Amino acid sequence: MPLGRRCTFALLPLAITIPAFAQQKPTDKAEEEKGFTFYETFQGSTNELGQVMKLDTTVGYDFTRHYGVDFGVPFYFVSASSTETSSGGASHNGIGDAYAEIRATFNNPLVNYATVLTGAAPTGDTKTGLSTGRATFDWTNHFDKGVLGLRPFVNVGVANTISDTTFFTRPFTTLGMNTHEEGGVSWSVLPFVRVGASYYAIEPWGTQKVFSKFVGRQGGGMTMMGRGHGPFQNAAETTGTSDLTRDNGFSAWVSGRAFNLLDLELGYERSVKYNLNTVSFLVGFNIGSLVRKARGF
């Protein structure tokens, strides 16, 4: 998406919160008509290590207002900071793992519930950290309830990889079993603007592997950087115990929606484990809704 267009849309009115791409998108889409869907997102994260950005094209089908499927392929843009580049960091672009997801959403007066089961094929390059070289899955469950403009929520999931969120397009890819939990609240400060905050924890078990997007391989070996916030800054590939990928921290964000077509978000995440501060953005286009409106249905 052209940078100029992204900047222009940033001036439009903001609306609802998107705590995480896989967590909130099914709740939003359940309100739309059944049929084909087409959603485009451009998101990215920046910190002292560099920038990781992702263009994600998702095509799907809503069978009913409760059930649907999606298919997508992300494309990454990785740029290590000048400090990291001089220490062995790498900048590159490439596709990640193609994925498919099954989602279901059920809204009721007591609590709203959404669940997403995602499976990914190893289509990305392990040498640049864009894939683990193995098939991965993530099952996430989302619960929320609106009360007087506030919307408390809880996300609980199990996976064999640590997925990106809108607050953290990760500088690494992992392989290993884990549970991930998040609890927080968002607040409607204006009709088209929400702010929010949350606390998250990732609890892995068993053997874990980390593939760095910043540290490249030279001559088939690993380029060591010798310092850093985590294993993804020290080697192209690291294998270890559950402590290798355990993480916890908190997030804060402001987000919104314009005309049910455009999603915008600006967020901050603090990783306690990695001692890392990350600023992220997301721009999402509901192209499927736009096409349906143009056709008059």
- Residue 91 maps to which CATH number? 2.40.160.40
pLDDT 10s digits, 190-210? 888 999 999 999 999 999 999
CA distance 132 to 176: 10
Note the pLDDT of residue 17: 31
Instruction: Please count the structural domains in the chain.
Output: 1
| Cα–Cα distance measured from residue 35 to residue 145, given in angstroms and rounded to the nearest whole number | 27
Residues 6+ apart with CB under 8 A from 233: 49, 84, 171, 212, 214, 215, 225, 227
- The pLDDT tens digits of the residues spanning 51-94 come to 999 999 999 999 998 999 999 999 999 998 766 544 456 788 99
What pLDDT, on the 0 to 100 scale, is given for residue 88? 53
Three-state secondary structure of 31-50: CCCCEEEEEEEEEEEEECCE
Structural domain including 248 reads 3-295
Burial class (CB in 10 A: 0-12, 13-18, 19+), 110: exposed
Give the chain's residues under pLDDT 50: 1-31, 85-87, 219-227
E strand or H helix at 84, and its extent?
A: helix 82-86
Q: How much is the pLDDT for 6?
A: 30
d(CA 73, CA 38): 12
Q: How many CB atoms lie within 10 A of CB 190?
A: 11
Detail the DSSP E strand segments found in 121-243: 136-144, 150-159, 172-175, 178-190, 193-204, 208-212, 217-218, 221-222, 237-240
Sign of CA dihedral 103, 108, 111, 112: positive
Residue 246 C-beta-side C-alpha neighbours within 13 Å: 9
What's the count of helices (H) and strands (E) in the chain, helices before strands?
A: 4, 18
Q: What are the residues facing 21 on neighbouring strands?
A: none
Q: Are 244 and 238 in contact, with CB atoms under 8 Å apart?
A: yes
Q: What's phi and psi for 226, nearest 5 deg?
A: 75, 10
* Residue pair 134/171 in contact by the 8 Å Cβ criterion: no
Task: Report the alpha-carbon distance of residue 116 to residue 99 in Å, rounded.
Answer: 12
* Other CB atoms within 10 A of residue 116 CB: 23
Query: In a 3-state reduction of DSSP, which class is residue 131?
Result: coil
